[in-house]
Amino acid sequence: MSFFSDFFNLAPCPPAKREEVNRLISELITIGQKEDYLSERPGRPFNAQCRHEGARQIGRRLDEIGGLELMEFAHRQVKRKAGKNLAAHLEYAWADIGRWLP
């Protein structure tokens, strides 16, 4: 399923949620490119664990909509559009959200 959803850029979510999911993924990519998902020091917009709070909120919402499968899809989109280093940072920023494991 992931090959086809990635190939056609179709998020694995209910059709009624697709617009919201696309917006969230786009916002997630922008956060990574402008601010990164991790920081060396806590402080806005990073939490006490130095993880970007906005990226975590998006991760929680993606988990609510489509669970781990949708989060993995979003991670692949970040990797494709923002690069493997930012995707690796996102893996740790999303720790402890749903069934996500860094």
- The length of the chain is 102
Q: Are 11 and 5 in contact (CB under 8 A)?
A: yes
CA 1 to chain CA mean position, Å: 19
Q: What angle do CA 59, 25, 15 make, to 5 degrees?
A: 95
pTM of the model: 0.90
Within 8 A by CB and 6+ apart from 73, the residues are: 2, 5, 6, 11, 12, 66
pLDDT in tens, 28-86: 999 999 999 999 999 999 999 999 999 999 999 999 999 999 999 999 999 999 999 99
